[in-house]
């Protein structure tokens, strides 16, 4: 597969005869990144696969409307993040769970997940991250694991960079505190 730039993929997509091919290339280019971004939010492998599929369906339906005000992957991450958060909120409401109970559900599903291949230290870190409030968890994952810059994160999450920096630093403090105490 050739490594097309986002601009080249969009140009290819806008040519009616190449839409399917261009979208296929786009999916191949970003599927893994989108999967892991969503996986860090919803934890469960099967749920993640469903959300990734829904994300790419939304991208397909709206790609011709993409105005290029932001980078393509930023726009796609925003869709993926919104899909993951919507999934969490729907399931939390569906099962009448408080945020705390739902976080505990995540922690339990994480420890039972056969697709997690990390060692004990990684499991401990993931359990701590799951104890963070949803926004702090998303910001921490995006900054720490995905190395997304605050400016891009701001576009994805529609939040100021100052608020994101604060969320990240609070999350780091909570994680350090928990890891040193346990």
Each residue's pLDDT tens digit, 13-28: 999 899 999 999 999 9
Q: Which residue has the higher pLDDT, 69 or 93?
A: 69
Residue that has been written with the tokens 């968890």 in this structure: 137
Q: Which domains does the chain have, with CATH numbers?
A: 1-116 (1.10.1740.10), 120-182 (1.10.10.10)
Question: Which pLDDT belongs to residue 2?
Answer: 62
If DSSP codes are grouped into helix, strand and coil, which group holds residue 74? helix
pLDDT value of position 19: 94
- Which two tokens mark 71? 């980078």
Q: In what helix (H) or strand (E) does residue 153 lie, and over which residues does it extend?
A: helix 150-157
Given pLDDT bands bounded at 50, 70 and 90, which one contains residue 167? very high
Whether residue 107 is predicted with pLDDT greater than 90 in this model: the reply is no
DSSP string, 95-129: TT--HHHHHHHHHHHHHT-TT----HHHHHHHHHH
């Amino acid at each position: 597969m050739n490594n097309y730039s986002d601009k080249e993929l969009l140009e290819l997509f806008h040519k009616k005869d190449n839409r399917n091919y261009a979208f296929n290339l786009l999916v191949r280019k970003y599927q893994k990144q989108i999967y892991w971004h969503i996986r860090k939010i919803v934890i469960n492998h099967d749920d993640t696969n469903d959300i990734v599929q829904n994300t790419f369906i939304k991208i397909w339906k709206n790609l011709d409307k993409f105005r290029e005000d932001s980078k393509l992957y930023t726009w796609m991450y925003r869709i993926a993040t919104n899909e993951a958060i919507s999934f969490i909120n729907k399931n939390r409401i569906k099962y009448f769970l408080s945020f705390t109970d739902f976080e505990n559900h995540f922690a339990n599903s994480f420890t039972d997940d056969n697709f997690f291949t990390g060692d004990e230290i990684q499991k401990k870190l993931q359990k701590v991250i799951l104890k963070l409030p949803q926004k702090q968890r998303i910001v921490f994952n995006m900054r720490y694991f995905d190395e997304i810059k605050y400016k891009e994160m701001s576009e994805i999450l529609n939040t100021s960079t100052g608020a994101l920096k604060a969320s990240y630093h609070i999350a780091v403090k909570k994680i350090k505190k928990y890891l040193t105490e346990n």
